[in-house]
């Protein structure tokens, strides 16, 4: 392999990336790094104000949009709008997620439903809406964020670990 700079692979420079859960945590760190590397990022989060606060100092390479990943129709609209605005989506970081901890007997069915809706169905909705676009483009990458909790048992994180096991299974 040559060290000649003309042989470098373009990975993020001039790429378009959509990041769910982009207002905080892994999504925010990823957005900052991608912009630093020359990518345009769309920060999709249900906490629009926090996403906008992050996007502002990143300049014209970052845009905040509202997205609740539990809403399949809204998810599809955000993806279509991003593709239409930018002409393509090179990277989709399916990153939004929530966690609840504590003894499993302390989690009610509403806790389980909320965790499943965000951590499993939110990922499914993203893949479902993005995959046809990437196939049509003929390129693109989908990165689903899971957790070590999706690989190994995690006492005190039963609902979270259950959903992250599902994300690992979907991704594999």
> Which residues have CB under 8 Å from 12's CB, separation 6+?
34, 37, 38, 39, 91
CB count, 10 Å around CB of 117? 17
Bridge-based pairing of strands 40-45 and 91-94 is: unpaired
Q: Is 125 a catalytic residue?
A: no
Q: Is 16 helix (H, G, I), strand (E, B) or coil?
A: strand
Higher-pLDDT residue of 147, 68: 68
| Tens-place pLDDT, residues 10-56 | 689 999 999 999 999 999 999 999 999 999 999 999 999 999 999 99
Only one residue has tokens 């909790």, namely 149
Question: Of 91, 114, 125, 160, which one is the catalytic site residue?
Answer: 160
Give the start-end residues of each E strand in 95-156. Answer: 141-144
DSSP 3-state of 156: coil
Q: What is the pTM of this model?
A: 0.91
């Amino acid at each position: 392999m040559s060290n000649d700079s003309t042989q470098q692979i373009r990975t993020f420079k001039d790429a378009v990336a959509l990041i769910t859960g982009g207002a905080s945590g892994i999504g925010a760190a990823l957005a900052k790094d991608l912009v630093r590397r020359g990518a345009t990022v769309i920060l999709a989060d249900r906490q629009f104000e926090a996403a906008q606060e992050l996007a502002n100092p990143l300049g014209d390479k970052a845009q905040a949009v509202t997205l609740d990943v539990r809403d399949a129709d809204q998810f599809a609209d955000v993806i279509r709008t991003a593709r239409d605005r930018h002409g393509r989506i090179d990277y989709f970081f399916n990153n939004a997620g929530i966690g609840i901890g504590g003894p499993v007997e302390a989690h009610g069915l509403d806790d389980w439903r909320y965790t499943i809706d965000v951590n499993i169905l939110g990922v499914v909705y993203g893949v479902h809406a993005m995959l046809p676009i990437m196939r049509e483009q003929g390129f693109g990458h989908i990165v689903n964020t899971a957790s070590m909790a999706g690989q190994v048992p995690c006492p005190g994180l039963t609902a979270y670990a259950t959903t992250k096991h599902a994300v690992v299974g979907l991704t594999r």
